[in-house]
Amino acid sequence: MTKNEMADVLSEIGVLLELSGENPFKIRAYQSGARALAAMEEAELGRLITAGELGTIKGFGDALVQKITELHTTGRLVFFDKLKASIEPGLAEMLQIPGLGPKKIRALHSKLGIASIAALGQACAEGKVAELEGFGEKTQEKIVAGIRNREAYGRRHLWWDAAEIAGPIVAGLRALPQVRRAESAGSLRRGMETVGDLDFIVAADEVGPVVEWFVAQPGVKEVTAQGETKASVRFESGLQADLRIVPEGQFVFALHHFTGSKDHNVQLRQRALAAGLSLSEWGLVPADGEGTAKEKAEQGKSLVAGSERELFAALKLSFIPPELREGLGEIEAAEGDKLPRLVELADLRGAFHNHTTASDGRNTLVEMTAAAEALGWEYFGVADHSKASFQAKGLSEERLLQQIGEVQALNASQRFTTYVFTGTECDILTDGRLDFDDELLAKLDYVVVSVHNAFTQDEATMTARIIRAIEHPLTSMLGHLTGRLLLRREGYQVDVKKVIDAAIANNVVIELNANPWRLDLDWRHWRKAAERGLLTSINPDAHETAGLEDVRAGVNVARKGWLTREHVLNTRPLAEVKMWLADRRR
């Protein structure tokens, strides 16, 4: 188990102990143990455990040493499993409602006997929650809204989570001897930020064994439909998946159809009709004469296409990448080969906006730099929080100066081939001023400015606040423009168009925050903004080494936003980036 996975277990134990009403000292020991773990170097931790010397580190008592050692050596913890089993699952589920922490949940449980989200909704409807000490009308309203949001959002899943489930399924399907081709389609293939359900298209010689394999996969909780050539299942996470098996000759047409989107399909079908052709999930056939499209396809009257490229070519179009298939002008652009060459993961040469253990990150500067080097990046930008973000251990002036020194020493040591830039994720204060003074900001290579508080300001105030920060001469980039968290909370009220105008006018980058929860600014804005000259950077906002890989999700939505390499600062080589950053300081 990695250090961060072990830290997760310790924090979860803290939460569960709190839910079960354990004494505060014990709870705190797990919370601080989790933090202490995160602050260590992975290699050093392994060495201490093996040498039996973990107890010499401040913050690890005997109980913690035993548990960390068990996790490290066996990958499991019996104590944790028992604790989880001893707590009503409904209580832990209630933690998903914003504003409800372990303390409040315990009060609801002990005073009103509430042990599920359904019971909580009922008690709110009866006004009982508002009457509880420490709750009140406002809190009750917030809980009701939280339950409502959960129902509305509960049906969709983050692209990242869906992709993690879909990958092994495609691999599993391809490994079956009966399967000739298998792909995932639908919104996942189009790189949508959230996914309703998974769609798999398979070409197979024999259908029975494929359906049987699909419904018997590990993690399947329920088989919601099972037919001769299709099946639907629901996984433990609630995610559903549809499987369709077609003859090989239909594969490309089915893949295209079920990739969608609906709007794209409708427009492409119209184009086919204008050329006297009928396009469907079965094939591309002449539109005239007798019989349905399906019958004609089965009679072998369809165009033969071995790839989607050939399908598009038959309609005199260049290949349209799935990410662009939203019915937003991609067909017109594919007519004269006017489609952009979209940015790719391999184009990225580094990333800005990353955190370390100096603020709320879970890996040290050295660990993060090593991870960036392992990704083959030429540069890595550290941008920890500023002092106003005290909840995220934002850096004081002294600590930031110290970090600048550490980065300089690291670069000078040439320990890594990856060059480290010094930056900050500087809070935009409520009136638009920045959290550090100019003298300090000028010592950094770059400055990301972000809003982290007063989310409820009205649109005009928030817009003016952000624009003031953009106009600051030392600002290089704007972080997560709207602050949204997908499936959890809407962004703040802000006039995105005015902010984009200000960024273009001041030569400031607006980041495409690649965290799968954020993907902020939304892809729907990028095409127009980039055409008008806005530059972006695909920023992972990584809080641990694994977080650097979030750039994959960012590249997806950058592609959905029609962005090319030229629109993305972190596709440029190190020397050019250095120049760009330095130019901003003139």
What angle is formed at CA 77 by the lines to CA 74 and CA 82, rounded to 5 degrees?
Answer: 150
Cβ neighbourhood burial of 178 (10 Å; 0-12, 13-18, 19+)? middle
Q: How far is the CB of 386 from ligand DGT (least distance, A)?
A: 38
Residue 406 contacts Ca ion per CB under 5 A: no
Using CB distances below 5 to 8 A depending on partner kind, what does residue 450 bind out of Zn ion, Ca ion, ligand DGT, none?
Zn ion
Residues 6+ apart with CB under 8 A from 212: none
Smaller CB separation from Ca ion, 161 or 373 = 161
Q: How far is the CB of 305 from ligand DGT (least distance, A)?
A: 18
Name the packing angle between helices 365-374 and 397-413 (round to 10°): 40
Residue with the shortest CB distance to Ca ion: 186
424: DSSP letter: E
Smaller CB separation from Ca ion, 188 or 420 = 188
Q: Residue 95 phi/psi, 5° resolution?
A: -60, -20
Candidates 146, 186, 423, 516: give the one binding Ca ion (CB under 5 A): 186
How many helices (DSSP H) and strands (DSSP E) are in the chain? 26, 16
Q: How far is the CB of 231 from Ca ion (least distance, A)?
A: 12
Smaller CB separation from ligand DGT, 50 or 237 = 237
Smaller CB separation from ligand DGT, 239 or 503 = 239
Smaller CB separation from Zn ion, 60 or 436 = 436
Q: How far is the CB of 303 from ligand DGT (least distance, A)?
A: 20
CA 42 distance to own-chain centroid: 25
Residue whose C-alpha is closest to residue 273's, from 292, 251, 258, 288: 288
Residues 6+ apart with CB under 8 A from 468: 428, 431, 432, 433
Smaller CB separation from Ca ion, 260 or 432 = 260
Cα–Cα distance, 421 to 354 (Å, whole number): 11
Q: How far is the CB of 63 from ligand DGT (least distance, A)?
A: 45
Candidates 183, 199, 281, 330: give the one binding Ca ion (CB under 5 A): 199
Cα–Cα distance, 101 to 99 (Å, whole number): 6
Of the ranges 185-193, 289-297, 349-357, 496-504, which one interacts with Ca ion (CB under 5 A)? 185-193
Q: How far is the CB of 298 from ligand DGT (least distance, A)?
A: 20
CB atoms within 10 A of CB 127: 10
Q: How far is the CB of 216 from ligand DGT (least distance, A)?
A: 22
Which residues contact ligand DGT by CB under 6 A?
A: 186-187, 192, 195-197, 199, 257-258, 260-262, 265-266
Residue 520 contacts Ca ion per CB under 5 A: no
Smaller CB separation from Zn ion, 232 or 482 = 482
DSSP string, 520-563: BS-GGGHHHHHHTT--EEEE--BSSGGGGGGHHHHHHHHHHTT-
Of the ranges 156-164, 197-205, 297-305, 569-577, which one interacts with Ca ion (CB under 5 A)? 197-205
Using CB distances below 5 to 8 A depending on partner kind, what does residue 261 bind out of Zn ion, ligand DGT, Ca ion, none?
ligand DGT
Q: How far is the CB of 225 from Ca ion (least distance, A)?
A: 11
Which x/- pattern over 221-250 shows residues binding Ca ion (rule: CB under 5 A)? ---------------------x--------
SS3 319: coil
Q: How far is the CB of 185 from Ca ion (least distance, A)?
A: 8
Using CB distances below 5 to 8 A depending on partner kind, what does residue 513 bind out of ligand DGT, Ca ion, Zn ion, none?
none
Using CB distances below 5 to 8 A depending on partner kind, what does residue 258 bind out of ligand DGT, Ca ion, Zn ion, none?
ligand DGT
SS3 158: strand
Name the packing angle between helices 42-51 and 62-74 (round to 10°): 110
Residue whose C-alpha is closest to residue 78's, from 140, 169, 165, 13: 13
Residue 197 contacts Ca ion per CB under 5 A: yes
Smaller CB separation from Zn ion, 147 or 449 = 449
Residues β-bridged to residue 512: 538
Smaller CB separation from ligand DGT, 155 or 341 = 155
Smaller CB separation from ligand DGT, 508 or 557 = 557
- Cis amide bond preceding 375, omega within 30: no
Cβ atoms of 353 and 547 within 8 Å: the answer is no
Q: How far is the CB of 357 from Zn ion (least distance, A)?
A: 16
Residues that bind Ca ion (CB under 5 A): 186-187, 197, 199, 242
